[in-house]
Amino acid sequence: MNAASPLLSVRGVETYYGNIIALRGVDLDVHVGEIVTLIGANGAGKSTLMMTICGSPQARTGSVTFDGTDITRMPTHEIMRMAIAQSPEGRRIFPRMTVLENLQMGAGVTDLSHFDEDLQKVYELFPVLKARRNQRGGTLSGGEQQMLAIGRALMSRPRLLLLDEPSLGLAPLVVKQIFAAIAELNRTEGLTVFLVEQNAFHALKLAHRGYVMVNGSITMNGTGAELLAREEVRAAYLEGGRH
């Protein structure tokens, strides 16, 4: 792959739910080693874009390309085997399975020869998961479940990590901890991250670049710092909302 071309590239994507349009021609790029965030209000289409990248629902027009391969029409499970991993919205861990089993499910589809090594890495990143490894997933706190969802995604050794609202319903301190872990992964492993967030302040501070989505279209993009400084962004997403 040539260094300039993006790892993930979304071009002119339109997605519909039945006859209702949810994405109106979205263009977006994520380059290797970047943290890119997508912010926007409720119902703007952030999660729909995330789901469209994963192929469920599929884009009606436009294309999604990962590492030079067109994945627009691929079934979800095949996309998720292409070194893309997702921590889905609402965490969606397996509640009756233990923490260890949850992590195992994350590693399940790839070569298992480095399972131990990856497990230790996840435990180092989130030590609480090690302490709770034989506990059922459903008994974890919200923050721990989010850590488990991210850890589970990391077990497949992804090149691109998709995070859908990791701060949802979590205490500020826990959000900080999780975002710090994402930053560390990016810094030490060079992991590429695409982050969909409502918590604009934290997300823009963390990300190298950001996109703002309104009503199914990208209205602004720039570096995290740039967007944070812009008046429209502050007014719409940040004022009174530093949480």
Partner 1 sequence: MATTSPSRRPAAELVKDAAYSALIALALAAPIIGLQTVTARGGLGLNARWDDVFLIVLAVFAGRLLLNFTIWRHQGARPIGQKWFQRAGGRPFARHGHTLSKIIGPLALAVALLLPALPFSDRYVMDLSIMVLTYIMLGWGLNIVVGLAGLLDLGYVAFYAIGAYSFALLATHFDLGFWICLPLAGILAAFWGVILGFPVLRLRGDYLAIVTLAFGEIIRVVLLNWYEFTGGPNGILGIPDPTLFGLEFARRGDNTFHEFFGLSYSSMHKIIFLYYIILCLALITNFVTLRLRRLPVGRAWEALREDEIACRSLGINTTNTKLTAFAIGAMFGGFAGSFFATRQGFISPESFTFIESALILAIVVLGGLGSQVGVVIAAIVMMGGFEYFREFEQYRMLIFGLAMVFIMVWRPRGLISTRSPSVILKERKAIGADLVGQGHG
Q: How far apart are CA 21 and CA 102, in angstroms?
A: 35
Identity of the residue, 137 or 224, whose beta carbon is nearer to partner 1 in the bound complex:
137
Question: For the chain, first and last CA: distance in Å?
Answer: 39
- Other CB atoms within a 10 A radius of the CB of residue 186 amount to 19
Q: Which of the ranges 81-89, 165-173, 185-193, 197-205 carries the binding residues for partner 1, by CB under 8 A?
A: 81-89
Q: Which of the ranges 59-67, 88-96, 212-220, 227-235 carries the binding residues for partner 1, by CB under 8 A?
A: 88-96
Q: Which of 67, 101, 189, 226 binds partner 1 (CB under 8 A)?
A: 101
> Do strands 61-66 and 69-70 pair parallel, antiparallel, or not at all (unpaired)?
antiparallel
Report, in Å, the least distance between residue 48 CB and partner 1: 14
Report, in Å, the least distance between residue 1 CB and partner 1: 22
Q: If DSSP codes are grouped into helix, strand and coil, which group holds residue 173?
A: helix
Instruction: Show the tokens assigned to 65.
Output: 């390309």
- The number of residues making up the chain comes to 243
**What 3 state SS string does 82-151 have?**
CCEEEECCCCCCCCCCEHHHHHHHHHCCCCHHHHHHHHHHHHHHCHHHHHCCCCEHHHCCHHHHHHHHHH
Q: How far apart are CA 184 and CA 131, in angstroms?
A: 21
> Rule CB under 8 A: is residue 159 a binding residue for partner 1?
no
Identity of the residue, 106 or 166, whose beta carbon is nearer to partner 1 in the bound complex:
106
Q: Which of 16, 21, 27, 76 binds partner 1 (CB under 8 A)?
A: 76
Q: Which of 109, 131, 180, 229 binds partner 1 (CB under 8 A)?
A: 109
> Rule CB under 8 A: is residue 243 a binding residue for partner 1?
no
Identity of the residue, 2 or 113, whose beta carbon is nearer to partner 1 in the bound complex:
113
> Rule CB under 8 A: is residue 63 a binding residue for partner 1?
no
Which parts of this chain interact with partner 1 (CB under 8 A)? 54, 56, 75-78, 80-81, 85-86, 88, 92-98, 100-101, 104-106, 108-110, 112-113, 115-116, 133-134, 136, 152, 156
